[in-house]
Amino acid sequence: QVQLVESGGGLVQAGGSLRLSCAASGRTFRNYYVGWFLQAPGKEREFVTRISGSGGITDYADSVKGRFTISRDNAKNTIALQMNSLQPEDTAVYYCSARKRGTVRYDYWGQGTQVTVSS
């Protein structure tokens, strides 16, 4: 079992930056891929980025490439999402999620953190 708690959301002007954090429980956290997803009002949840258990593999949605960076610290059981050059269309609730290595479905989700970018 993994429990995830996000933090770091807030209100920022266009062009600004935010750093989201996800704190995870569990002794075998390094065995889990972690992803960030977003859900904008009235839209379905969509993939943003993911990172492998060791941190050596990352993947990004085209819309955030070059602006967002995912990282993890397995010693501290934390995942970070650095978001730069934010735009109003990045406004959404951001969720941290985890799936165990060897599986395809993200089974563990945080409660989400709101990011609002004003123009």
Q: pLDDT per residue over 69-116, tens digit each? A: 999 999 999 999 999 999 999 999 999 999 998 888 999 999 999 999
Query: Is the per-residue pLDDT at 29 higher than 90?
Result: no
pLDDT at 26: 79
The pLDDT of residue 108 is 95
Token pair for 96: 């941290």
Question: Mean per-residue pLDDT for 12-39?
Answer: 94
Residue whose C-alpha is closest to residue 94's, from 68, 77, 71, 115: 115
- Give, for 74, the enclosing helix (H) or strand (E): none
The string of pLDDT tens digits covering residues 31-63 is 999 999 999 999 999 999 999 999 999 999 999
